[in-house]
Amino acid sequence: QVQLVESGGGLAHPGGSLRLSCATSGFDFSGTAMSWARQAPGKGLEWVSGIYSDGRYTFYADSVKGRFTISRDNEKKTVYLQMNNLKPEDTALYYCGQGGNYAGPDISEYKYWGQGTQVTVSS
């Protein structure tokens, strides 16, 4: 069955960095687009970034563009999110999602999500 397991969250100071990982199994990872989304307390799920199956095309929400970088290792079946210059408003539970051929911002297009990893940005 499809499994998505996020890790790498934690506490960071404003301006700091974290790198999230999402290890996957149970599907053809190298043929599947992947994304990251987040949910802040009291808010809905917000798409953050997506990457096509071959890694050549990446997409970002305006709120993270220039600070976050999505990447993937198809041999390790893992997708990453490097988060730099973190801000308190980045505090959220971060999820990776499997989108088939889709890597865009429509959350309803994603069939599978992991359990999430908490990112807290605070001084």
Mean pLDDT of the chain: 97
pLDDT of residue 89: 96
Q: What is the percent of the chain where pLDDT is above 70?
A: 100
pLDDT of residue 96: 97
pLDDT of residue 115: 97
Find the Cα–Cα–Cα–Cα dihedral 5, 10, 14, 19, rounded to 10°: -40
Residue 99 φ then ψ, to 5°:
-115, 15
pLDDT digits (tens, 9 = 90+) for 58-117: 999 999 999 999 999 999 999 999 999 999 999 999 999 998 899 999 999 999 999 999
